[in-house]
Amino acid sequence: MDSLRSKENLNQFERIFGKTNSTPRLFEAPARINIIGEHVDYLGGIVLPAAIDFSVQVFLRPNQTQTYRFHSITYNETVELEKPLQPNRQSPWTDYIAGVIVEIEALGFFVPGFDLLVDGNIPQGSGLSSSAALEVVTGYAISESFGFNIPKEKIAVIGQKAENHFVGTKCGIMDQFIIAVGKKNDCISLNTDTLAYSYHHFELGTNEFYLINSNVKHNLKDSAYNKRRSECESALQKIQAKHPKWNQLYDVTLTESELKNCGLSPEELKRTIHVTTERERTKLVIQGLESNQFQTVGDALFATHESLSKQFEVSCEETDFIVSRLAELGVIGARMIGGGFGGCVLVLDKKEHFDKISAEMKKSYQQKFNIALDFYKFQISDGVKEISI
């Protein structure tokens, strides 16, 4: 977000909460993409996300009371909350903030009252993790403002717990983690079983990644997400009854017929096939990026999309259409990213193709669904941080 907008927000903060002799501090968290490793981060899998330069910003200032006052620029709304904090049906955007306070206090800290103003430019419902960014930026802002010095990796876990417990989506750790620890120009490979991670730098040469927003968000998203997660958990239980050596679904190496012998339902079988085949595709993508084998990377992206659509069943007509049309037009690779049921498609292609592909895609999507597509070019950027204005 540009510094002019931040300055206007500072003025707005002081108009709403009053001017005192202490200036609110400004914190920023990015959005994220995920190159590969989709729907495996709650099953002990490896994911390959990167932070990108859309952001959520918060101004925070302690207010020497026991009241929390939040203002959202997006919703043009101010909400005051007192403990005990409860999910707020009227203004659900406050849950991502309140949930983080609750989780920080669950660690034994006492979070005094504060005033907070939030603004952002991450398109909501686009699968780029605007909610995780709000959780992480809130956690970091509280930790820094009250001197808790919570490590960023731990802030990520706090954000995930806020989402799991307070908001009620049983998400994995990927989004909060990359938003917390992201680094300019690098992606990370994160082992979601151990939370060990490393930074990977890659150069795309004459190619680029970009995003296409389908501009649809099907409302089954949250309930279907939790359902997929429980199907994977019950699949693992059935597998473990016969093969106790596996602690994580991601690690299972049984053939399809061996899986069937474990008594998996047709849904459990399909979910397991997606999760275990994603393991191989992830290896191919990491190797492909390291050795400039971009077609290998692209093929794996297409294969992941197919698997998310047919085996994990989290795609939708619109994103399936985008990916198959892109394949016809000859891009290197493409797939839906994030939780699914709409949102963004990640594309890998030659830079010089962009104008032609975007014009063609806009036209065919409009014809088919009567919806306009948005295209986002992005930079890989840093994780959560304090900024000065």
Catalytic annotation, residues: 175
The least CB distance from residue 330 to ligand GLA, in Å, is: 27
The least CB distance from residue 216 to ligand GLA, in Å, is: 16
Rounded CA separation 47/34 (Å): 7
Cα→Cα distances 266→13, 220, 231, 249, Å: 54, 21, 10, 16
The DSSP call for residue 155 is H
Residues that bind ligand GLA (CB under 6 A): 38-39, 41-42, 129, 171-172, 174-175, 338-339
**Would you say 383 and 178 are in contact if contact means Cβ atoms under 8 Å apart?**
yes
**Would you say 280 and 10 are in contact if contact means Cβ atoms under 8 Å apart?**
no
Burial 141-177 (b: 16+ CB within 10 A, else e): bbbbbbebebebebbbbbbbbbbbebbebbbbbbbbb
Rounded CA separation 30/32 (Å): 7
Phi-psi region of 101 (alpha: psi -120 to 50; beta: other; left: phi over 0): alpha
The least CB distance from residue 59 to ligand GLA, in Å, is: 26
The least CB distance from residue 388 to ligand GLA, in Å, is: 30
